[in-house]
Chain A
Amino acid sequence: MHTITIPINDETIRSLKVGDPVELNGIMLTGRDTVHKWMIDTFIRKTRSPQGDDLQVYAAIKPLLKNSIIYHCGPVVSGLDSKLYKFVAAGPTTSIREEPYQAEVMKHFNIKGVIGKGGMGFKTLQGCQEAPGVYFHAIGGAASFIAQSVTRVLGVFKLDFGVPEAMWVIEVKDFPVVVTMDAHGQSLHKVIEERSSKVLQGLLAK
C-alpha cells in the first residue's frame, strides 16, 4: 500500500504502477462535467469570455490544483443553509465523459492525479505520460464509506453550478484508490476492454 500526501511530486507519480493500491492525504478539488467544460471554454480554448466571478475563481483554484488532484465527484452535502458543509456521500462519478477535456485540463493546471471511476481513454492516457500524472480509480457507489475519508470541507467555488457540479475544496485522510492508468502508458481499462472484446467475438460467432 502506497501512502501519498498532496502536493505530489513527479518522482512519486512515476513510481506508481497500474494495480497499486494507494491511500491519499491532503487537499484536493472536486470537479466534473460542468467544471471541465467551463475550464476548457473559458481559460484553455477561450471560446467564451470570462463572466461574473470567473477570473477570481480561476486565480483561487490555480494554486490549489497545482501538484494536486481533481476528483470526479458530485457529492451529497449537508449544512447548505448554515454553510457548515459536510460531505454525507461522496463516491466517484463516471470519468469517461471528461475524456475530451481531461488531458488539456491536467496540463493547464499542473494537475498530477485524477480520481474517478470507469477509467478514461487514449487522450487522457497520453496526457498522463506527458504531465506526468495518474488516474486513480475509487470504488463506484461506495459513497458513505468514501465520505468518511473527507475530514473537512474547506470551501466551495461555483455553487451556482449546483451542489453536484460545484468545485468543493476538501481535505482527505486515507482516501482509498487503485491506480488503473499510470504515467508509463499502461491502462487496466485498455487491457480489460481488449480481452472482453475477444470473448464477445467468440460468443457472437456461436
Chain B
Amino acid sequence: MQDFTEDILELIRRTSTDLPADVEESLRGSLLREEPGSAARGALETILKNVEISRQNSTPICQDTGTPIFYVHYPAGMSTLKLKEQIRNAMVAATRRSYMRPNAVDVLTEKNSGNNLGGDAFPYIHFEESENNELTIELMLKGGGCENVGAQYSLPDSRLGAGRDLPGVRKVVLDAVQKAQGQGCAPGILGVAFGGDRGAGYLASKEVLFGKMDAASPDPKLAELEQQLTSESNQMGIGPMGFGGKTTVLKTRITGLHRLPASYFVSVSYMCWAYRRRKMTIHGDLVTYD
C-alpha cells in the first residue's frame, strides 16, 4: 500500500495553520457589524491579523491544537490498520515541527506523552468504506476551551420549560450559549444533534461541523431553526470574546438522530472561532486539499 504519511502531515499543517476561507470571510463580515473602536471590533481585528500571520509563517492559529478528529473514507480493500499507523506517524511528525502542541495527557499519571499519541483513542480516527474509489481524510482540530462549554440536555427539562419538541430544542441550545459566555472563544459555531443516545448525540454534533459555512439542513424546519438560533443567540449580546457585541454565534447546524422512546437528548458542541477543519482527497496519484 502507498505511504500517505507526508500527505497527511500536510493536511495537519494546513488544518492547524491555515483557517478555511469560508470561516475567515464570515469573521470579516462580523467585524463590520461591530462598532468602530469597540473592544469587540478590536478582538476581531486581532483575530484576523492572527489568521494572516499563522498562514504566512505556518504556525498554529491557536496554541491549543485541540483534539485531532479524523474521518477517513477509504476505497474497498485498503488497510485501515496501515492508514491508522500513517496518521499516527504524521501526528508525531507534526508535533515535532510545532504544527501541533503535545496535547495528550495520561489522565491517571498526568504525564503528557509529548507526541500527541495517547492510547488507542488519541488521535480519534473514524473509518468508513467509501462508495467510490477515492480516499478522503477529513481533519478537525477542536480546542479544549470550546469543548468544555459543550452541553447535553435530557428533555423534558422543567427548569427551562423545554419539552420534547423543536421549541424545546431551541430553549436548551439558547441556554447552552448563555452559559458558555465568551469562554468558548466566541464568536462560535454551534453543532447540535437531537435524538440518539448520549454517545451518538455528541458524535453527531461534531460531525455536522465538518460542513461548510453556507451549508444548511436539508429539512426546511431544521434549516429555519438553525437561522433562528443564530439570530437569537446574537440577541444576547455576549459578543466576540465575551466583550459584549453583536456577534456571539456565526452559524448553527442541526441534525437529528433516531432515539429510543424513553430518551430525548439534545447535544451541543460549541466550536470556537478558530474553526479548523480541512479535507484531503486522494484519487490515484493526485492529492488535493480543500
Contacts and interface: CB of A to CB of B under 8 A. Distances in A.
A88 B103 contact: no
Given A176-B46, A204-B161, A118 B181 contact: yes
A192 B47 contact: no
Contacts of A89: 54, 59-63, 98, 101
A147 B101 contact: no
A73 interface: yes
Interface string B166-183: 000001001100100111
Interface in A162-188: 162-165, 176, 178, 180, 188
Interface in A72-107: 73-78, 88-91, 93-94, 96
Contact of B63 (A91, A139, A180, A193): A91
Interface in A105-122: 117-119
Nearest to B56: A144
Contacts of A77: 98
B145 A200 contact: no
B161 to A, nearest CB: 6
B190 interface: no
Interface string B91-129: 000000010111101000011101000000000000000
B237 to A, nearest CB: 6
Nearest to A140: B185
Nearest to A18: B39
Nearest to B46: A139
**Interface on chain B toward A: helix, strand, loop, or mixed SS?**
loop
Most chain B beta-carbon neighbours within 10 Å: one of A96, A162, A189? A162
B185 A141 contact: yes
Nearest to A195: B237
Given A119-B182, A139-B241, A141-B185, A196 B62 contact: no
B243 interface: yes
B9 interface: no
B183 A118 contact: yes
Contacts of A197: 178
A97 to B, nearest CB: 8
A144 B46 contact: no
B143 to A, nearest CB: 8
A141 B242 contact: no
B236 interface: yes
A137 B50 contact: no
A195 B243 CA distance: 12
A199 interface: yes
Interface string A132-156: 0000010111111111100000000
Contacts of A180: 243
Contacts of B239: 192
Contact of A145 (B50, B100, B103, B110): B50
26 contacts: A21-B42, A76-B63, A76-B98, A78-B98, A88-B98, A119-B182, A140-B145, A141-B50, A141-B62, A141-B143, A143-B50, A144-B61, A145-B50, A147-B59, A162-B105, A164-B101, A165-B112, A178-B39, A192-B239, A192-B243, A195-B236, A199-B178, A203-B235, A203-B236, A204-B161, A204-B171
Interface of B: 39, 42-43, 46-47, 49-50, 53-54, 57, 59-65, 98, 100-103, 105, 110-112, 114, 143-145, 148, 160-161, 171, 174-175, 178, 181-183, 185, 232, 235-239, 241-244, 272-274
Across chains A and B, which 8 residue pairs bring their CB atoms closest together, nearest first? A162-B112, A118-B183, A145-B50, A142-B50, A89-B63, A89-B60, A196-B236, A140-B185
Interface of A: 19, 21, 34, 73-78, 88-91, 93-94, 96, 117-119, 137, 139-148, 161-165, 176, 178, 180, 188-189, 191-193, 195-197, 199-200, 203-204
